Structure formats: structure tokens, C-alpha cells
């Protein structure tokens, strides 16, 4: 089977789906199907940031910048705790919930 590429989200709903996946698979992002063989923290967060860029206009510049900073912090937490033993993973997952709240608020206002 040819390895696939992770789809960059195109709208808020797709970013919410990716955040749910991040929540479940963090901090190591081991993709169990084998289809996405080159999964890494950098790759996953690259897709998230690309997705945020795709909806930048919808978000508005202030929210976009805030979500990008949150993404950076979340990634740093996961990288600091790859075995989920120090509590950093929990902090990263908490950021997922905060990001979801912001995105749902934007979606509700559009």
C-alpha cells in the first residue's frame, strides 16, 4: 500500500476533527492503519497550521494569531512528554479543548 498524505483541513469542522484525532493520538501520533507511515509531531502540527491558514479570513487575524500560538504551545507540551509521564501531555490536551471552544464560537457566529 502506498503511504498517504494527511489532508490539510479546509474548514472549521475539519479542524475540529483533526483536533479530536490529536486529542486521542497524542503525544506520539502513531497512526494505526499503516496508511500514514510518516506521521510525526511536526507533520501533524504542519497540517493543523496549514488548516488554520486555510480559514484565516474566517477566523480574523486576532483569533488566527491566538490559535497559532496555542498550536505552538501544544506541540511543545507533546514534544516535552513523548511518553505521557510528566504531565506535559495533559497540558497539551487542555489546549485542544480551548482551541475547540474558540472554533465552535466562530462557527456559531458565521
Q: Is the pLDDT reported for residue 105 higher than 70?
A: yes
- The pLDDT tens digits for 53-101 are 999 999 999 999 999 999 999 999 999 999 999 999 999 999 999 999 9
Dist CA 20 CA 1 (whole Å):
26
Q: What's CA 24's distance to the chain center, in Å?
A: 11
Contacts for 48 with CB less than 8 Å, ≥ 6 apart: 9, 15, 18, 19, 22, 71
Residue 7 confidence (pLDDT): 79
- The pLDDT tens digits for 14-28 are 999 999 999 998 998
Write down the domain spans for the chain.
12-109
Residue 1 confidence (pLDDT): 39
Amino acid at each position: 500500500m502506498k503511504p498517504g498524505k494527511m489532508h490539510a483541513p479546509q474548514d472549521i469542522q475539519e479542524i475540529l476533527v483533526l483536533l479530536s484525532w490529536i486529542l486521542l493520538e497524542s503525544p506520539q501520533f502513531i497512526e494505526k492503519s499503516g496508511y500514514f507511515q510518516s506521521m510525526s509531531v511536526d507533520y501533524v502540527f504542519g497540517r493543523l497550521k496549514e488548516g488554520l491558514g486555510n480559514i484565516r479570513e474566517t477566523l480574523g487575524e486576532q483569533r488566527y494569531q491566538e490559535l497559532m500560538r496555542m498550536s505552538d504551545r501544544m506541540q511543545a507540551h507533546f514534544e516535552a512528554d513523548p511518553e505521557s509521564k510528566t504531565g506535559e501531555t495533559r497540558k497539551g490536551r487542555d489546549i485542544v479543548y480551548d482551541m475547540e471552544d474558540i472554533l465552535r464560537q466562530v462557527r456559531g457566529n458565521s
